[in-house]
C-alpha cells in the first residue's frame, strides 16, 4: 500500500506534535520536521501536503523566505498559527488534499514487519528487554518479523517492582515463545550499590553495571548483527527540534559504545499511544502495554540514600498494595504515576501495645501529561486511609505512611 505523507514543518511552535497527532488519529501518516530542513530532503520525502506550524506572527526572516520557497513546490500548504483549530486540520487533509486515510495500526505493523525482514535478512538480532512499554513492543514487532533470529536479554537488577521479572518471563518467554535469556544480576547490582547514598552516583552505577552485564551476555551469545532500540518519535522530534530543546534520557539501557551493532529502531516513527496500540495488536497483555512510566533505575531511585535489601522490600511490598488499591478503586487510568518511596527515616510507633521504631513510607500519586510538570492527584481520603492501614499491617518494618502533596515544580516526580 502506498503511504501518503503529510509533512508538518515546525516554525517554532509551542506544541509541534499536536497537529501530527491529530492527523494520525485520522489515519493520515504525518511527520514533523524543523522548518530549516533542506528543501531537497523535503522533496525526496514526497509529501502530499505541507502544514506550517508556528506560534509567532511572521516577520521578514529566514523562516519567511523558506516558507515562500516551499509554497512554490506546487503542493497544498496550510499555515497554522496561534489560533489552533483541529477541525481546520481535518478539513485541510480530507476536503482540500483528499488523503485516503489508510494508515492504521495494522498497516503500520505489516509495513514494518516487511521492512525489518528485508533489512535483517538472515542476520541475528539482540534486544535488551526491560519489560517497559517501548522495549516490549519493539521486541514483539521484531519477533513477528524474524522469529528466532531475535534473542532478548532481560537483566534482573533487583530494582524491579513486585512480580515484574516473573511477568517478563511469562509473557515473552512462554506466551510469545521468544528466545529469552534472564540474567539474575541482583547480588551484583546490590553489592555495587552498597553504602552509596548520592543519587547521581547510584544512577551512574546502575547504568554502568547494566551495560557491563549486557555486554557479557552478548559476548557469550556470539556475533549479533543488530541491536533493537526502543526509540520513539518524540525522542527524535525533541532531539532535532529547531528550538534546541533536547530532553535528557537517563535510561538504564544505555548503549555500550564499543560494541559493533547496527541499530534496529522499529518504533521510531510512533507516538507513545500508537506504540501502545501496536503492542495490543501484537498480543501483549493490556496491563503491560498501558503500564505507567517506570524509571530505568527502578526502585533504586525510590529508596532514598543507600539501598538495602530491607528498604527495597518495604518499597516493593507497599507499592504492590498501593497499585492493588488504586486498581480496585478504578483509578489506574486517571493517574499518570503512583508509587511508594522509602525516605529512610525511622520514627516511633506502637503495635500490639508495644513500642516500635520503624521505617516510614511515602505515597506519591501525580497527574501529568508529559512528566515535565505534575500536579498531585487528590486521592479520596478513605482510599488513603485504607492504603495506609494495609501498609502498616502487612509490611513488616513499616509503622508510618505519609502522602507527598508537592507538585512538580518545585519537587520532581521521583524523590531522587
Ligand atoms: P522526574 O523525577 O525528573 O521524572 O520529575 C520525570 C519522569 O521521568 C521518569 N524518570 C526516569 N525515567 N530513567 C528513566 O527512564 C530515569 O533515570 C528516570 N528518572 C525519572 C519519572 O518516573 C517520571 O516519569
Provide the CA 21 distance to its chain's centre, in angstroms: 17
Overall average pLDDT of the 291-317 stretch? 97
Q: Which has more pLDDT, 323 or 260? A: 323
Q: How far is the CA of 276 from the centre of ligand 1 (A)?
A: 19
Q: How far is the CA of 346 from the centre of ligand 1 (A)?
A: 26
Q: How far is the CA of 402 from the centre of ligand 1 (A)?
A: 21
Range name among 188-192, 236-240, 269-273 with the lowest pLDDT average = 236-240
Confidence of residue 243 (pLDDT cuts 50, 70, 90): very low
Q: Whose CA is nearest to atom 21 of ligand 1?
A: 295
Q: Whose CA is nearest to atom 22 of ligand 1?
A: 295
What's residue 59's pLDDT?
54
Is pLDDT above 90 for 58?
no
204 lines ligand 1 (CB under 6 A): no
Looking at the CA of residue 416, tell me the nearest atom of ligand 1.
2
- And the C-alpha cell for 189? 547490582
Asked if residues 199 and 416 have their Cβ atoms less than 8 Å apart, the reply is yes
Q: How far is the CA of 36 from the centre of ligand 1 (A)?
A: 31
Q: How far is the CA of 38 from the centre of ligand 1 (A)?
A: 34
Q: Whose CA is nearest to atom 11 of ligand 1?
A: 295
Please name the residues in contact with 160: beta carbons below 8 A apart, sequence gap of 6 or more.
131, 298, 299
What's residue 66's pLDDT?
82
Q: How far is the CA of 340 from the centre of ligand 1 (A)?
A: 14
Overall average pLDDT of the 222-239 stretch? 89
List the domains of the chain with CATH numbers: 5-96 (3.40.50.880), 105-289 (3.40.50.620), 302-403 (3.30.300.10)
What's residue 85's pLDDT?
72
Range name among 10-14, 118-122, 368-372 with the lowest pLDDT average = 10-14
Phi, psi of 102 (to 5 degrees): -110, 15
Q: How far is the CA of 188 from the centre of ligand 1 (A)?
A: 23
Q: Whose CA is nearest to atom 20 of ligand 1?
A: 295
What's residue 238's pLDDT?
72
User: Which of 339, 414, 415, when mutated, tests ligand 1's pocket best, judged by the most ligand atoms within 8 Å of its CB?
Assistant: 414
What's residue 245's pLDDT?
33
Phi, psi of 18 (to 5 degrees): -65, -45
413 lines ligand 1 (CB under 6 A): yes
Q: Which has more pLDDT, 67 or 25? A: 25
Confidence of residue 256 (pLDDT cuts 50, 70, 90): low
Overall average pLDDT of the 79-95 stretch? 84
> How many Å apart are CA 337 and CA 328, to the nearest integer?
16
What's residue 89's pLDDT?
92
DSSP assignment of 136-175: HHHHHHHHHHHGGGEEEEEEE-S-SPTTHHHHHIIIIIII
295 lines ligand 1 (CB under 6 A): yes
Looking at the CA of residue 414, tell me the nearest atom of ligand 1.
2
Is pLDDT above 70 for 84?
no
Q: How far is the CA of 206 from the centre of ligand 1 (A)?
A: 14
Overall average pLDDT of the 38-47 stretch? 94
18 lines ligand 1 (CB under 6 A): no
SS3 282: coil
296 lines ligand 1 (CB under 6 A): yes
Is pLDDT above 90 for 259?
no
> How many Å apart are CA 94 and CA 28, to the nearest integer?
9
Q: How far is the CA of 414 from the centre of ligand 1 (A)?
A: 6
Amino acid at each position: 500500500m502506498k503511504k501518503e505523507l503529510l509533512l508538518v514543518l515546525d516554525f517554532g511552535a509551542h506544541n509541534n506534535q499536536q497537529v501530527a497527532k491529530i492527523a494520525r488519529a485520522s489515519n493520515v501518516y504525518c511527520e514533523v520536521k524543523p522548518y530549516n530542513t533542506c528543501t531537497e530532503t523535503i522533496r525526496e520525502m514526497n509529501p502530499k501536503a505541507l502544514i506550517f506550524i508556528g506560534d509567532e506572527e511572521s516577520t521578514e526572516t529566514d523562516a519567511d523566505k523558506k516558507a515562500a520557497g516551499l509554497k512554490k513546490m506546487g503542493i497544498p500548504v496550510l499555515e497554522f498559527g496561534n489560533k489552533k483549530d483541529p477541525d481546520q486540520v481535518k478539513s485541510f487533509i480530507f476536503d482540500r488534499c483528499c488523503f485516503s486515510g489508510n494508515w492504521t495500526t495494522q498497516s503500520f505493523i505489516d509495513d514494518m514487519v516487511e521492512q525489518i525482514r528485508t533489512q535483517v535478512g538472515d542476520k541475528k538480532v539482540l534486544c535488551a528487554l526491560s519489560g517497559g512499554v517501548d522495549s516490549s513492543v519493539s521486541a514483539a514487532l521484531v519477533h513477528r518479523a524474524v522469529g528466532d533470529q531475535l534473542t532478548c536479554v532481560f537483566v534482573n537488577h533487583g530494582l524491579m517492582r513486585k512480580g515484574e521479572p516473573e511477568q517478563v518471563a511469562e509473557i515473552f518467554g512462554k506466551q510469545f515463545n521468544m528466545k529469552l535469556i534472564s540474567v539474575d544480576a541482583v547480588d551484583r547490582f546490590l553489592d555495587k550499590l552498597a553504602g552509596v547514598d548520592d543519587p547521581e552516583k547510584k544512577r551512574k552505577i546502575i547504568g554502568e553495571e547494566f551495560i557491563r552485564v549486557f555486554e557479557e551476555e552478548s559476548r557469550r551469545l556470539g556475533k549479533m548483527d543488530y541491536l533493537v532500540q526502543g526509540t520513539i518519535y518524540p525522542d527524535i522530534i525533541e532531539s532535532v527540534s529547531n528550538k534546541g530543546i533536547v530532553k535528557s534520557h537517563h535510561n538504564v539501557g544505555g548503549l555500550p559504545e564499543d560494541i559493533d551493532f547496527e541499530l534496529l529502531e522499529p518504533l521510531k516513527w510512533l507516538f507513545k499511544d500508537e506504540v501502545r496500540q501496536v503492542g495490543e495488536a501484537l498480543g501483549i497483555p493490556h496491563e503491560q502495554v498501558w503500564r505507567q512510566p517506570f524509571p530505568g533505575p527502578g526502585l533504586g531511585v525510590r529508596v532514598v540514600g543507600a539501598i538495602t535489601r530491607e528498604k527495597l522490600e518495604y518499597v516493593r511490598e507497599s507499592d504492590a498494595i498501593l497499585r492493588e488499591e488504586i486498581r480496585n478503586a478504578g483509578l489506574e487510568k486517571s493517574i499518570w504515576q503512583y508509587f511508594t518511596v522509602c525516605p529512610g527515616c525511622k520514627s516511633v510507633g506502637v503495635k500490639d501495645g508495644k513500642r516500635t521504631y520503624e521505617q516510614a513510607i511515602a505515597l506519591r500519586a501525580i497527574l501529568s501529561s508529559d512528566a515535565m510538570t505534575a500536579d498531585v492527584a487528590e486521592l479520596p481520603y478513605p482510599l488513603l486511609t485504607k492504603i495506609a492501614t494495609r501498609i502498616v499491617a502487612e509490611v513488616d518494618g513499616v509503622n508510618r505512611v505519609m502522602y507527598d502533596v508537592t507538585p512538580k515544580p518545585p519537587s520532581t516526580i521521583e524523590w531522587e
